Structure 1
């Protein structure tokens, strides 16, 4: 790992600032922040150290994954593995998972479900050395019903008083977001099925009202149509997965899709799979087409990969999600916006993350090629900078 602790400049042949592409660029960094962006690409004449990545390099903001699970190992049975792992070993596993993400250019993550607030331990560990991993925006154990989806993470809670108390506890501990399991899920056989709701509208409203009172956003795990509808009406900040599941399969209800478009709620879609791992390709293409349609309708679509939950979801899978959104018909620039500036807006780090501009954190990704023409270039990483330190 190379460190440039003082002042330096990064030069690349093309550029995407989080909103629009342009030609050659020279980005000046001092300490942990970007101090100037020269869109002419001129090299400094004052002796500033230059990291010249070459004419074929494209410099973009560090990527943001809006939905990961560092505590899950992306193995064939992550739940059993988690149960068999003590806290010390689990923290080591989480550090390794975070580093895997960072080396792929993912410099910010929302961890939407850990055990016993272990993600906050990493946040504290890295406070003085942020270059050791992505910035983590942690939810802690997700709120779930007794024996509900992911109950083994420690977030079982029911009734109005207890839900409000659970939100207050997460706020007091320093969580950046509240996660609630509005529907069941596949990882927890003893919960209701993924298409069925766990919490009703009033419970969801209770959580949203308390979280918003404390200044925290709410992310709702919502596979089923009723869960999506209720979470949307309750005013959650992001719908996680948005699978439109019914007992008979997927039913992407046009009226509900339009309601998402018309709302202030983000759709955090689970795009991206590791191509070398076999999956039900037909089913995946159906759901990706739904996500592509949502984006083209005008929904605020970001990519929450669900990294860690299964072998197709390693912790560096997010760039594949950008590629897959483009395959689903999303314009490359919009897919990149989804993983940078729009994701920063959802995560409430807008201005500091997800863009390359003076004053922003020096979280930068350089790739070989132009991802605006070929999103697969995101998989060919040349350099990664985390708050002004080169980590790859």
Structure 2
């Protein structure tokens, strides 16, 4: 495997550039760790440019998972693990899970909740065998609140302001706050608000003053309305749960659309028997499937993500299954793919260099067999993964011509 200074090309029958699907043997030229050029003409390149022609395949930006938990073992007892395991163990687990994501073509991962900032060290190692990692550190939560075992318990405006400043000092990329309860911890039900609108607004003001965005875990109807009113940059889940079911609040959806708030939809999960899920979760998923496309058509900035690590159907390479689900909900191929590329990159604050296949952007690329317009299931058939201009996985056994002359 080779590195900077190399100029080479990659050609396939189709290219999704982050916005639209192109055919006619497009050519992507990579130099060092950046995309140097994209040629949609189908013309032959200069004879001195080494080019891999992968035939019937689609090139697309490396996927961006805006909501994962790299330290969570999907097959383990997460609360117990977070209480008992060492930092070294959790860092090693995070690295293993990050590599698993990269092998699936996920070249950027935003960790939205670890214990004790252990993922910060993994991020800062800049390991070229891993995706680019963005971190939130321990999510802010009420005393005894959702995911309290991660160490982010904080109460009151003064405590919240101090917690945000602590995260800024630690160098996080985003502030995560639990606006409502959740399903992983029983102390606060998912529909119940953990903070008031005023408390959430204090978090947003302080984070923005520190140059940091805020994303809010928000299941409940009131919690979503308060998060929108407080001016958060993103909401995670957006399920509009009530005590008995899930009812979309179109006034809140309109407010989120008007503000350009990113809406993280953690739809990605392995195929399985949904009848085995608790009845309330089944109703939530069914309701979200009904209003998700309506939200997108209304202008919502819907981001496909995974919440990887929280249960066995959410391993750290599961994101492509969420894209497939979006297509089943009525998203077009381009809309579904954009939700995990361009839109997701902007949600993570890296949209000026990731999520697109265009000149000047990071050379993070995914190649899958076939034309994705024939079915997004092709995302599961990985041909190659390129991270920062360097091939890190080849599904064919043949290396790309990186570094040849």
Q: Please, which of 146, 160, 163 is the counterpart of residue 160 of structure 2? A: 163
Q: Distance in 2 between matches of 1:45 and 1:76?
A: 53
Q: Distance in 2 between matches of 1:152 and 1:10?
A: 46
Residues 292-303 of structure 1 correspond to what in structure 2 (within 5 A)?
Answer: 292-303=293-304
Query: What residue number does 1:65 align with?
Result: 65
Residues 315-334 of structure 1 correspond to what in structure 2 (within 5 A)?
Answer: 315-334=316-335
Query: What residue number does 2:365 align with?
Result: 364
1:276 Cα deviation (Å)? 4.4
Deviations 1:77-133 (A, max 9, x none): 22223333211111111101001111111111111000111111111112xx4x221
Kindly indicate whether the alpha-carbon contact (under 8 Å) linking 1:11 and 1:41 is maintained by their aligned counterparts in 2: no
Query: What residue number does 1:271 align with?
Result: 267
Query: What residue number does 1:348 align with?
Result: 349
Say if 2:306 is the partner of 1:310: no
Bigger mean CA deviation after superposition, 322-331 or 272-281 = 272-281
Query: What residue number does 1:179 align with?
Result: 176
Aligned CA distance change for structure 1 residues 49 and 277 (closer, same or farther; 3 Å): farther
Q: Please, which of 244, 258, 262 is the counterpart of residue 254 of structure 2? A: 258
Query: What residue number does 1:150 align with?
Result: 147
Q: Distance in 1 between matches of 2:83 and 2:41?
A: 54
Runs (4+) of structure 1 exceeding 3 A deviation are: 2-5, 276-283
Kindly indicate whether the alpha-carbon contact (under 8 Å) linking 1:364 and 1:385 is maintained by their aligned counterparts in 2: yes
Q: Distance in 1 between matches of 2:390 and 2:166?
A: 34
Deviations 1:305-345 (A, max 9, x none): 11111111111111111110110111111111111111111
Bigger mean CA deviation after superposition, 78-87 or 298-307 = 78-87
Deviations 1:161-218 (A, max 9, x none): 221121111112111100000000111122x111000011111000000111111110
Q: Distance in 1 between matches of 2:91 and 2:273?
A: 26
Deviations 1:211-268 (A, max 9, x none): 1111111000000000000000000011100010010111112333233222221111
1:286 Cα deviation (Å)? 3.0
Kindly indicate whether the alpha-carbon contact (under 8 Å) linking 2:247 and 2:287 is maintained by their aligned counterparts in 1: no
Say if 2:107 is the partner of 1:111: no
Q: Distance in 1 between matches of 2:318 and 2:292?
A: 17
**TM-score, structure 2 length as denominator?**
0.92
Residues 160-239 of structure 1 correspond to what in structure 2 (within 5 A)?
Answer: 160-190=157-187, 192-239=188-235
Q: Distance in 2 between matches of 1:290 and 1:75?
A: 31
Query: What residue number does 2:9 align with?
Result: 9
Q: Distance in 2 between matches of 1:84 and 1:102?
A: 28
1:21 Cα deviation (Å)? 1.1
**TM-score, structure 1 length as denominator?**
0.95
Query: What residue number does 1:36 align with?
Result: 37
Query: What residue number does 2:26 align with?
Result: 25
Query: What residue number does 2:397 align with?
Result: none
**SS, match of residue 373 in structure 2:** coil
Bigger mean CA deviation after superposition, 166-175 or 258-267 = 258-267
Deviations 1:269-316 (A, max 9, x none): 111111147553953333222322211222110012111111111111
Query: What residue number does 2:121 align with?
Result: 121
Alignment coverage as a number of residue pairs: 386
Bigger mean CA deviation after superposition, 206-215 or 294-303 = 294-303
Q: Distance in 1 between matches of 2:79 and 2:103?
A: 25
1:373 Cα deviation (Å)? 3.3
1:4 Cα deviation (Å)? 5.3
**SS, match of residue 263 in structure 2:** strand
Unmatched tracts of structure 1, length 5 or more: none
Unmatched tracts of structure 2, length 5 or more: 394-405
**SS, match of residue 271 in structure 1:** coil
